[in-house]
Amino acid sequence: MITSFHTVNGSSTGEYREKGSKFIALVYPVASEDEVKIRLAEVKKKYFDARHHCFAYILGPDKIKFRAYDDGEPNHSAGDPILGQIRSRNLTNVLVIVVRYFGGTKLGVGGLVTAYKTAADEALNNIAIVEQQITVPVVFEFAYESTPVIMKLVKDFGLSIRNQTFETSCVLEAEVLLASRESLFERARLLQATGNHFILRVAEVQ
Protein backbone atom coordinates (compact mmCIF):
# COMPACT_ATOMS: atom_id res chain seq x y z
CA MET A 1 0.00 0.00 0.00
CA ILE A 2 1.35 3.40 -1.00
CA THR A 3 1.18 5.70 2.04
CA SER A 4 3.38 8.58 0.86
CA PHE A 5 4.98 10.06 -2.24
CA HIS A 6 7.67 12.57 -3.19
CA THR A 7 6.86 15.88 -4.83
CA VAL A 8 8.15 19.46 -5.02
CA ASN A 9 7.40 22.07 -2.36
CA GLY A 10 6.98 25.02 -4.70
CA SER A 11 7.81 26.49 -8.11
CA SER A 12 11.22 26.95 -9.71
CA THR A 13 12.90 27.81 -13.01
CA GLY A 14 15.93 26.73 -14.99
CA GLU A 15 17.55 27.84 -18.25
CA TYR A 16 19.68 26.35 -21.01
CA ARG A 17 21.11 27.96 -24.14
CA GLU A 18 22.41 26.29 -27.28
CA LYS A 19 23.28 27.87 -30.67
CA GLY A 20 21.09 30.90 -30.04
CA SER A 21 18.06 28.95 -28.81
CA LYS A 22 16.96 29.62 -25.26
CA PHE A 23 15.14 26.99 -23.20
CA ILE A 24 13.32 28.19 -20.07
CA ALA A 25 12.07 25.43 -17.75
CA LEU A 26 9.35 25.99 -15.16
CA VAL A 27 8.39 23.55 -12.39
CA TYR A 28 5.01 23.58 -10.65
CA PRO A 29 3.35 21.38 -8.02
CA VAL A 30 -0.03 20.19 -9.38
CA ALA A 31 -2.69 17.83 -8.07
CA SER A 32 -5.01 17.48 -11.07
CA GLU A 33 -5.24 17.84 -14.84
CA ASP A 34 -7.30 21.00 -14.30
CA GLU A 35 -4.34 22.55 -12.46
CA VAL A 36 -2.08 21.49 -15.33
CA LYS A 37 -4.34 23.32 -17.80
CA ILE A 38 -4.32 26.47 -15.67
CA ARG A 39 -0.52 26.52 -15.41
CA LEU A 40 -0.12 25.88 -19.13
CA ALA A 41 -2.46 28.75 -19.96
CA GLU A 42 -0.50 31.07 -17.65
CA VAL A 43 2.84 30.12 -19.20
CA LYS A 44 1.56 30.41 -22.77
CA LYS A 45 0.21 33.87 -21.98
CA LYS A 46 3.47 35.01 -20.38
CA TYR A 47 5.72 33.48 -23.04
CA PHE A 48 3.35 34.10 -25.95
CA ASP A 49 6.21 34.84 -28.35
CA ALA A 50 8.03 31.53 -27.78
CA ARG A 51 8.19 28.95 -30.58
CA HIS A 52 7.38 25.91 -28.43
CA HIS A 53 5.77 25.18 -25.05
CA CYS A 54 6.70 21.57 -24.33
CA PHE A 55 5.79 19.83 -21.08
CA ALA A 56 5.43 16.67 -19.06
CA TYR A 57 3.62 15.80 -15.86
CA ILE A 58 2.92 12.90 -13.51
CA LEU A 59 -0.10 12.78 -11.19
CA GLY A 60 -1.22 10.61 -8.30
CA PRO A 61 0.57 8.52 -5.67
CA ASP A 62 0.59 5.52 -8.02
CA LYS A 63 2.03 7.65 -10.88
CA ILE A 64 -0.30 6.02 -13.40
CA LYS A 65 -1.51 9.31 -14.89
CA PHE A 66 1.18 11.09 -16.93
CA ARG A 67 1.74 12.86 -20.23
CA ALA A 68 4.64 14.10 -22.37
CA TYR A 69 3.98 16.70 -25.10
CA ASP A 70 6.42 17.83 -27.83
CA ASP A 71 4.42 20.84 -29.12
CA GLY A 72 5.73 20.64 -32.68
CA GLU A 73 9.25 19.45 -31.93
CA PRO A 74 10.29 16.09 -33.46
CA ASN A 75 8.57 13.13 -31.78
CA HIS A 76 10.02 12.21 -28.38
CA SER A 77 12.66 14.97 -28.54
CA ALA A 78 11.10 17.25 -25.90
CA GLY A 79 8.29 15.81 -23.78
CA ASP A 80 9.97 12.48 -23.09
CA PRO A 81 13.29 13.97 -21.90
CA ILE A 82 11.33 16.26 -19.55
CA LEU A 83 9.28 13.32 -18.28
CA GLY A 84 12.48 11.36 -17.75
CA GLN A 85 13.80 14.00 -15.38
CA ILE A 86 10.63 13.83 -13.29
CA ARG A 87 10.81 10.04 -13.17
CA SER A 88 14.51 9.98 -12.35
CA ARG A 89 13.68 11.76 -9.09
CA ASN A 90 10.69 9.48 -8.38
CA LEU A 91 8.35 12.49 -8.26
CA THR A 92 4.62 12.87 -8.78
CA ASN A 93 2.08 15.70 -8.73
CA VAL A 94 4.64 17.68 -10.73
CA LEU A 95 4.39 19.64 -13.98
CA VAL A 96 7.50 20.77 -15.89
CA ILE A 97 7.09 23.13 -18.85
CA VAL A 98 10.03 24.04 -21.08
CA VAL A 99 9.58 27.10 -23.29
CA ARG A 100 11.85 27.41 -26.35
CA TYR A 101 12.86 30.56 -28.15
CA PHE A 102 14.30 29.47 -31.51
CA GLY A 103 17.72 30.89 -32.26
CA GLY A 104 17.79 30.27 -36.01
CA THR A 105 19.93 27.15 -35.97
CA LYS A 106 18.43 23.67 -35.91
CA LEU A 107 19.81 21.48 -33.14
CA GLY A 108 18.81 18.06 -34.45
CA VAL A 109 16.97 15.46 -32.43
CA GLY A 110 20.00 14.68 -30.25
CA GLY A 111 20.58 18.34 -29.53
CA LEU A 112 16.94 18.89 -28.65
CA VAL A 113 16.89 15.90 -26.29
CA THR A 114 19.94 17.28 -24.49
CA ALA A 115 18.50 20.80 -24.34
CA TYR A 116 15.08 19.85 -22.95
CA LYS A 117 16.59 17.34 -20.54
CA THR A 118 19.17 19.82 -19.25
CA ALA A 119 16.68 22.67 -18.84
CA ALA A 120 14.27 20.44 -16.91
CA ASP A 121 17.13 19.09 -14.80
CA GLU A 122 18.27 22.61 -13.96
CA ALA A 123 14.79 23.68 -12.82
CA LEU A 124 14.25 20.54 -10.73
CA ASN A 125 17.64 21.02 -9.09
CA ASN A 126 16.47 24.46 -7.93
CA ILE A 127 13.55 23.20 -5.86
CA ALA A 128 13.33 21.14 -2.68
CA ILE A 129 11.82 17.67 -2.87
CA VAL A 130 9.55 16.67 -0.01
CA GLU A 131 7.84 13.49 1.12
CA GLN A 132 4.09 13.96 1.40
CA GLN A 133 2.02 11.62 3.53
CA ILE A 134 -1.29 10.46 2.08
CA THR A 135 -4.27 11.25 4.29
CA VAL A 136 -7.86 9.99 4.38
CA PRO A 137 -10.86 12.11 5.45
CA VAL A 138 -12.88 10.62 8.31
CA VAL A 139 -16.02 11.67 10.18
CA PHE A 140 -16.97 11.06 13.82
CA GLU A 141 -20.64 11.25 14.81
CA PHE A 142 -21.24 11.17 18.57
CA ALA A 143 -23.23 12.45 21.51
CA TYR A 144 -21.78 15.42 23.39
CA GLU A 145 -20.90 13.32 26.46
CA SER A 146 -18.55 11.22 24.27
CA THR A 147 -16.43 14.28 23.41
CA PRO A 148 -13.49 13.30 25.71
CA VAL A 149 -13.24 9.88 24.04
CA ILE A 150 -13.23 11.38 20.55
CA MET A 151 -10.72 14.10 21.43
CA LYS A 152 -8.38 11.47 22.88
CA LEU A 153 -8.50 9.62 19.55
CA VAL A 154 -7.74 12.90 17.78
CA LYS A 155 -4.70 13.43 20.01
CA ASP A 156 -3.43 9.83 19.98
CA PHE A 157 -3.54 9.55 16.19
CA GLY A 158 -2.48 13.12 15.41
CA LEU A 159 -5.65 13.79 13.44
CA SER A 160 -5.94 17.08 11.61
CA ILE A 161 -9.37 18.58 12.34
CA ARG A 162 -11.12 20.06 9.30
CA ASN A 163 -14.49 20.97 10.81
CA GLN A 164 -16.40 20.35 14.02
CA THR A 165 -19.88 20.94 15.42
CA PHE A 166 -20.55 20.45 19.13
CA GLU A 167 -24.24 20.34 19.93
CA THR A 168 -26.54 17.64 21.32
CA SER A 169 -25.45 15.57 18.34
CA CYS A 170 -21.82 16.27 17.43
CA VAL A 171 -19.86 15.87 14.20
CA LEU A 172 -16.10 16.11 13.79
CA GLU A 173 -14.40 15.93 10.38
CA ALA A 174 -10.69 15.16 10.33
CA GLU A 175 -7.79 13.77 8.28
CA VAL A 176 -5.90 10.64 9.31
CA LEU A 177 -2.66 9.39 7.80
CA LEU A 178 -3.38 6.48 5.48
CA ALA A 179 -0.68 4.53 7.29
CA SER A 180 -2.63 4.94 10.56
CA ARG A 181 -6.15 4.43 9.26
CA GLU A 182 -6.54 0.75 10.15
CA SER A 183 -5.11 1.32 13.63
CA LEU A 184 -7.58 4.16 14.20
CA PHE A 185 -10.56 2.03 13.15
CA GLU A 186 -9.34 -0.88 15.27
CA ARG A 187 -9.09 1.38 18.35
CA ALA A 188 -12.57 2.74 17.57
CA ARG A 189 -14.01 -0.78 17.40
CA LEU A 190 -12.48 -1.63 20.79
CA LEU A 191 -13.94 1.51 22.34
CA GLN A 192 -17.36 0.82 20.81
CA ALA A 193 -17.27 -2.74 22.16
CA THR A 194 -16.72 -1.41 25.68
CA GLY A 195 -19.79 0.83 25.70
CA ASN A 196 -18.65 4.00 23.95
CA HIS A 197 -21.33 5.06 21.49
CA PHE A 198 -20.12 6.85 18.39
CA ILE A 199 -19.82 6.32 14.64
CA LEU A 200 -16.55 6.56 12.74
CA ARG A 201 -16.60 6.42 8.96
CA VAL A 202 -14.46 7.39 5.99
CA ALA A 203 -15.81 10.64 4.54
CA GLU A 204 -16.96 10.89 0.96
CA VAL A 205 -14.55 12.99 -1.11
CA GLN A 206 -16.32 15.99 -2.58
| Backbone Cα Rg of the chain | 23
Query: Is residue 109 domain-shared with residue 194, that is, in the same domain?
Result: no
Cβ 81 vs Cβ 49: under 8 Å: no
Q: Which of 73, 107, 132 is the last residue of a domain?
A: 132
Helix (H, G, I), strand (E, B) or coil at 184: helix
User: Cα–Cα distance between 99 and 110 in angstroms, integer?
Assistant: 18
User: Cα–Cα distance between 130 and 54 in angstroms, integer?
Assistant: 25
Query: Is residue 38 domain-shared with residue 76, that is, in the same domain?
Result: yes
Contacts of 62 (CB under 8 A, 6+ apart): 2
Domains in the chain: how many in total? 2
- Digits of tens for pLDDT over the chain (206 positions)? 899 999 999 999 999 999 999 999 999 999 999 999 999 999 999 999 999 999 999 999 999 999 999 999 999 999 999 999 999 999 999 999 999 999 888 999 999 999 999 999 999 999 999 999 999 999 999 999 899 999 999 999 999 999 999 888 999 999 999 999 999 999 999 999 998 999 999 887 55
Query: Is residue 153 domain-shared with residue 62, that is, in the same domain?
Result: no
